[in-house]
Amino acid sequence: MFDTTLVVETYVWSLINEVKISREKMEQYAHALEFRAQEMEELSQRDPLTGLLNVRHLSTLLTSILYTAQCNHEPVTVVFIDINDFKKINDEQGHPRGDQVLQTVAAAIKSVARLDDHCFRYGGDEFCLVLPGCSEKHVEGSFIPRLLETVEEMESGLSLSIGLCQTDHQQGYVDAMSLVQQADAKMYQEKKNYKRLQEQPMSKEA
């Protein structure tokens, strides 16, 4: 009788131990899956070439930032950036060289941006930056000069066209995509001015 009880107890404890081990393995597997899911979510939000955020999340994120800014009566400035003569770089030096230029500009943006800033590759050679709690005046006086200086240090002669637009409680907040479109329009005007300046020497020679 004692031997039978011992065998049963040993068997039961063995089962309990196996269940415990299986549960621990399942918990480890669940944690690994959760980590992998978070990793995949992070990758889905990033542009693979530059490491910046991709444009799919711009509208949602900017809308959230604008809501917080309105609650706190803080400004939000959007910066739109385009690389001048990028098509010429691709055509004359090849797409791998163009990719290097994109990575250089992205690296410069990341080195200058604050932790609270959100930096997107908008598409092609265009970038969009969302700067919460930052005025247009501050961007013009500090952020842009530091960005241009950093780009020049990394890639001498590389030129950018930059447009920016601020929204705040004094002038009234605009919606996310209107803010982006206004910054884009200002960048496009800078691009036109750049091209006009580039064409002037050619006109004089003619």
Active site residues: 125
DSSP the chain: -HHHHHHHHHHHHHHHHHHHHHHHHHHHHHHHHHHHHHHHHHHHTB-TTT-SEEGGGHHHHHHHHHHHHHHHT--EEEEEEEETTHHHHHHHH-HHHHHHHHHHHHHHHHHHS-TT-EEEEEETTEEEEEEET--HHHIIIIIHHHHHHHHHHHSTT--EEEEEEEE-TTT-PPPHHHHHHHHHHHHHHHHHHHHHHHHHHHHHH-
Domain ranges of the chain: 1-44, 53-201
pLDDT in tens, 107-123: 999 999 999 999 999 99
Second CATH level (architecture) for the domain 53-201:
2-Layer Sandwich (3.30)
pLDDT in tens, 42-90: 546 799 999 999 998 899 999 999 999 999 999 999 999 999 999 999 9
Quote the pTM value: 0.77
